[in-house]
Structure 1
Amino acid sequence: MILHISIDAHNPLQVATALAEVLNGKVYKFFTPGSYLVMPFDKHGTHIVVFKEGDVWVPGTDAESAQVLHAEPIKLVANHAAISVPTTQEQIEQIGQRQGWRVLTRKQGDGVPFSAIEFWVENRILFEFLPSEFVPQYLQTMQSEMIEKILGQPIQLMPA
């Protein structure tokens, strides 16, 4: 289970505020200046950290923990997250439209294995939001027999 993720944004407070609205959460200042924490206070402790554009995690040295440094920002990223949310499809679409961000509702069977709402934060970071009525379909799709039907047999791992 993924409990938290971090992203960067051109306007971290605006992004954190929009995500908090989708998640029915609250926004707090985070430890790194100019970054914010979005907390929906669900039973899993889920949260999203929104850093300034270009802030990245880097490994520490020896026994030192990871730290955040500023790097050259990039336009698009490979990482994304699917998150079940307490808001409706209509609310999510309204929030995205108000921000000027791409929002697309995909329906199962239209070339995708499950229904989800593509919510493109700042038109560069993909979140797949699943309102409560989308979640059972997602969970059914993520069972081993369905995944094998979609992707084939798992790769047989060899000990290193």
Structure 2
Amino acid sequence: MIHHISIDAHNPLRVASVLAEIWNGKAYQFFYPNSYHVMPCDHYGTGIVVFPKGTVWVPGADTQSAHLLPAVSTDLVAIHAAISVPTTQQQIEQIGQREGWRVLTREQGDGPFRLVEFWVENRILFEFLPPGFEPQYLQTMQPKMIEQILGQPIQPIAVQG
């Protein structure tokens, strides 16, 4: 289970506010300047931390913990997440339109399951699963179904040394 992820944004407060709205959750100031933590207030401790654009995690030296630094970043990122939300497909589409962000509902056939592509700041992809979308996702993401999609058994990948 993934409990939280972090992203960066041009406007962290706005992004955190929008994500909190979609999640029917709350956003609050995080410990790093101009950063916010969004949570749906569930019993899993689920959350998304939104940092200012270009903020990166850096490994600490020796026994020091990781820390945050501002850095140069590209506009698009490889990070994305599929998240079940209580908000309806129509509400998500309306919020995206209001923000000027790309929103696309992907039907089954366009992929293995239905989802709503929600492009935060038109650069970070969240795949939202509104009510009714989650069962199809959960059914698809089982090992036997993945093997059917791949057309072969799932094989362990050998670590190259």
Q: Bin the TM-score by the shorter chain.
A: over 0.9
Q: 1:132 is matched with which residue?
A: 131
Q: 1:92 is matched with which residue?
A: 92
Q: How does 1:68-87 map to 2 (within 5 A)?
A: 68-87=68-87
Tell me the distance in 1 between the aligned counterparts of 2:80 and 2:3: 14
Q: Deviation above 2 Å: which 4+ runs of structure 1?
A: 155-160
After superposition, the C-alpha distances for 1:87-146 in whole angstroms (9 at most, x for unaligned) are 100111111111000000001112x00100000000000000001200000000011111
CA RMSD of aligned residues (A): 1.2
Q: 1:25 is matched with which residue?
A: 25
Task: Output the amino acid matched with 1:145.
Answer: K
Q: Which ranges in structure 2 are unaligned for 5 or more consecutive residues?
A: none
Q: 1:3 is matched with which residue?
A: 3
Tell me the distance in 2 between the aligned counterparts of 1:47 and 1:4: 5
Q: 1:153 is matched with which residue?
A: 153
Q: How does 1:89-128 map to 2 (within 5 A)?
A: 89-110=89-110, 112-128=111-127
Q: Percent identity?
A: 68
- C-alpha deviation, 1:158, in angstroms: 4.1
Tell me the distance in 2 between the aligned counterparts of 1:30 and 1:19: 15
Aligned partners of 2:30 and 2:37 also within 8 Å: yes
Number of residues of Structure 1 aligned to a counterpart in Structure 2: 159
Q: Which ranges in structure 1 are unaligned for 5 or more consecutive residues?
A: none
Aligned partners of 2:114 and 2:133 also within 8 Å: yes
After superposition, the C-alpha distances for 1:61-80 in whole angstroms (9 at most, x for unaligned) are 11111111000021100110
TM-score of the two chains, using structure 2 as the length reference: 0.95
Tell me the distance in 2 between the aligned counterparts of 1:135 and 1:158: 32
Q: 2:67 is matched with which residue?
A: 67
